[in-house]
Amino acid sequence: MATLELSIQDEATAEPVRRRRKLGVLFWLASAWLAIILALAILAPLLPLQNPVDMDMLERRAAFSSEHWLGTDGLGRDELARLIFGARVSLTVGLIAPMVGLVFGGALGLLAGYFRGRFETLVVGSMDVLLAFPPLIFALAVTAYLGQSIPNLTVILGVLGIPAFMRVARAATLTLARREFVIAAEALGASHARILFRELLPNVILPLLAFFLLGVAVTIVVEGALSFLGLGVPPPMASWGSMIGEGRDSLDVAPRLAFLPAAGLFLTVLAFNLVGDTMRALTDPRQGAL
């Protein structure tokens, strides 16, 4: 079969499509901002900062100075130190809470979408119950019984995120599980665990990660809102949300006290969204094909 020999050569030497994509300036700016914020937050105790909870009643709402670079707040605490220590709290809650949602919601969604049947009904039903429960009441109830602390706050926000992650994972799994490559694996005699981990998970994880980054942004904002309502971190500890809340009292005399943490929050959330979108576009193999 001469034709086949020829085709072997041709097919083998044909250079498959390769893709190149530029990441853009915005992506790098956003990444740089996140890197700086993360570094500051992690290294905060080592930095030559003033104690964020030391009050100086003589220097309330002081302006920018060489001693207090960003001035002081209503109780005379160093604003820069509070911002950086606040970032620690906001980022801890903002990253860990969606991770709880990602792990539990993702796993439940993957299993529900793959096994279907009664298990799926049970998972979807219980998630609907969780969704129907007013989140604020839930947060109030937990903090009332267990007390106000960062771990409690993280768990509350994490649990509230589970239904959404479950839905994203289940929807992705439902469409993927019908694809031929999954049936092919089944036909090869692959175990359920192998199909879940090798065939489905790598495909489901991307929409989940993109959703995770959105979740980070949302959680930071929600933590701010809860702190603003007095349900967040216990004072005198700083978080961006609680700082905005405290700055509200002096909006007319020192608007920067609310504006600075708000700007930090805004830029960080924006950066997470930008990086998230770019990462998703970058790792989608279908987009690269001609």
* Residue 194 CB contacts under 8 Å (≥ 6 apart), including other chains: 185
* C-alpha to C-alpha distance for 160 and 285, rounded to whole angstroms: 32
- The residue behind tokens 């701010």 is 224
Q: Return the residue of 39, 184, 263, 281 that touches another protein, per CB under 8 A.
A: 184
Residue 31: alpha-carbon gap to chain centroid: 14
Phi, psi of 78 (to 5 degrees): -65, 120
Q: Would you count residue 19 as binding another protein (CB under 8 A)? A: yes
Q: 16 vs 134, which CB is nearer to another protein?
A: 16
121 binds another protein (CB under 8 A): no
Say which residues have a Cβ less than 8 Å from residue 79's Cβ, sequence separation at least 6.
68, 69, 70, 71, 72, 73, 256, 257, 260
CB of 165 to another protein, least distance (A): 20
Interacting span for another protein (CB under 8 A) from 90-98, 103-111, 113-121, 173-181 = 173-181
Q: Which residues have CB under 8 Å from 2's CB, separation 6+?
A: none
263 interacts with another protein by CB under 8 A? no
Give the interface size with another protein as a residue count (CB under 8 A): 39
76-80 long-range contacts (CB < 8 A, ≥24 apart) are 77/52, 77/53, 77/236, 78/49, 78/50, 78/51, 78/52, 78/54, 79/256, 79/257, 79/260, 80/49, 80/50
CB-based contacts of 185: which residues, under 8 Å, 6+ apart?
A: 194, 195, 198, 199
Q: Does 118 bind another protein (CB under 8 A)?
A: no
What is the smallest separation between the CB atom of 176 and another protein, expressed in angstroms? 9
CB of 114 to another protein, least distance (A): 15
Q: Please tell me whether residue 286 binds another protein under the rule CB under 8 A.
A: yes
Q: Is residue 202 close enough to count as binding another protein by CB under 8 A?
A: yes
Report helix, strand or coil for 178: coil
Q: Under the criterion CB under 8 A, does residue 188 sit at the interface with another protein?
A: yes
Q: According to CB under 8 A, which one of 129, 180, 252, 253 is a site residue for another protein?
A: 180
Instruction: Candidates 31, 50, 203, 250: give the one binding another protein (CB under 8 A).
Output: 203
Q: Is residue 194 at the binding interface for another protein, with CB under 8 A as the rule?
A: yes
Q: Is 189 near another protein (CB under 8 A)?
A: yes
Judged by the rule CB under 8 A, the positions of this chain that interact with another protein are 1, 3-4, 6-8, 10-14, 16-21, 179-181, 183-191, 194, 198-199, 202-203, 285-286, 288-290
